[in-house]
Structure 1
Amino acid sequence: MEEFKLKFYAIYLVFAVVAIIFSMYVDIKKKHYNSISTVFALALFFVVALLFGLRNLDVGSDTDIVRVQFEYHDKIDFGFQFVFDLLIVVVSQFTDNYHIFLLVLSLIFTGLIFSSILVLSKRTDLNIFLVSFSFVSFYFFEQLGINIVRQGVSLVFFLLAVSLYFKNPTKYKYWIIPIILGVGFHITTIIVLFVFGLVVLFKKLKIAYYYALYFLVLIISAVGGSVLSFGPLLSYFFLVDSQRADFYINNENGLGYEVGFKTQFAIFSTLFLGIFTFINAKILYYENESYEILLKYYMVMSSVFFLMFQIPFSDRWGMMSWITIPFLLAPLFSINKTAKFSMGTLAFLIFLFVFFSIYYSPK
């Protein structure tokens, strides 16, 4: 694990230097040079995919589970998460090396993020490499890439669907297909799609109501309220993850997962909400409907996350809102004539990377 971390830090350091150069071009020269930044972004994701895919079994909590699933592919019982199962069957026809399967998963994970950024860049003024680098800067990127891989791939399918929807909402087949594939990787993504669908359906609803919901739920969570308060209705809610329903509700198996209000997560989410509010008001002047839709989704999904603090694995629900953070930060990496935020934002992201690397390092 230590060797993996050192390699990851080395990759990050090399590309951080590239990011600094691009941020100066964006802020000072007001040029993206996206033909070049695209190549560097592709290189970044490819190198990271190699590192993630060729990892040892002691790297990532679910790595050995994925290995077992792959090696016993003949015992697969297809269910709701049929796309993941189908991928195992297909890859197993060509190799019995589980590292190849992990590499395929990693290439899909990073490739979908890269594709989402490319699609988003067709509608939004952004530097492709800097947005790509921002993904790698967040600690949840590594978690999704090596620990909860199925959810990671599922969520980036959602990102691709969102990008395609914003590009052209009327071309249904282009964004519905990623949605189906995402759910086929991890069933809990149904909740993500449900929340996003509601936000789109009620997109005319004033954003002030979403702020009210966010802070109301945050207060309720702080005083001990949670999804467990729904009582018998909770079983129906967890139909999307029925295998863990009893564990969530009754904390079965006694594995000692910490539950309760997560101050650090609440601060993290609210800090970025403040940044997004600034972007929406001072950079986009409340004129970008797509941005507001994504911001509203972030607030609603964060509210759901706050209600999950009293159950194990609550951080996995946080990923459902955090995965959109790099997209919501993207306007800060633009050549907007009235703003010079790229270098400052990059410095902040590097600080977060270092901070969380130390925070989550073995004590």
Structure 2
Amino acid sequence: MTQPLTLALTVGEPAGIGPDLCLQLAGHERPAGIVVVADIDLLAERARQLGLSVRLVAWSPGDTAATAAGELSVLKVDGINSRMAGQLDPDNSRYVLATLETAARGCLDGTFDGMVTAPVHKGVINEAGIVFSGHTEFLQALCGVDRVVMMLATQGLRVALVTTHLPLKDVSAAITETRLIQVARILNNDLKAFFGIDAPRILVAGLNPHAGEGGHLGMEEIEVIEPALATLRDEGMNLTGPLPADTLFTPHLLEKADAVLAMYHDQGLPVLKYKGFGNAVNVTLGLPIVRTSVDHGTALDLAGKGTADAGSLHTAIETAIQMARCRRETTHG
């Protein structure tokens, strides 16, 4: 008999909508076991504030995670300082990072089949004196891998990024043959391993307008991108590009592709978020674990008010389940 999947779900910033979204899950049955990694009193207080009747069940490794409506399994993490909705507290930062580490280590040791993350507030963590640039980099360091890839996905579109949170003035220098080859290999391999795509078809954007216009609008395509793609094609990868980004996201191209590889954050993600904001998912590729996340921020102004939309969280959970099942099938046949 196949062992049921169990996912860890971190609540993110305590003052934000993460606790609200996690509690909303208890309103219906889940397709897999979900263990919320959090301070249990935070969830209890927020449930009272929202007027939700949720049975919070303390969970330990080896227990069966709740899937029934009306209850949530909670792996308790201590260290929270305050629980006020909408009010940031830098003294909560170490607790927030402890929830992430607990979930990730649980994935690494096989306790969990994957982890889903609600949004954190990078600014308040840094105000606490902790250097933190985001979930992706934190998990990269914890898992000890050299390169990870950010990919956002919604119905009918996946967009991965060669560079992520860089000022635009630094993007060109960051796009090297080595980096592009590493990112494309991770994207290709993980589309196979986690999404069951045997021969991924990837559209690659150029960096410059009109993909450089034969060198008249920039040389990066000729000097960096095209040589990297040639190397990757020699390895058997199915790549189309470099393509002008302003015409890449058209139906006749996308219907024949499994993913788009964009050169920088605001080249690919505005299209993705226009198409699917609120129902999109952020996936970290290149990790030895499954990790997905919502596509939005902490929304402090909505916390505790009962108006937060859980659509992206549901998408993140569904995607994590798909990825975990695919990896299980690939690993065990």
More helix by share: 1
TM-score, reference length from structure 1 = 0.30
More strand by share: 2
TM-score, reference length from structure 2 = 0.31
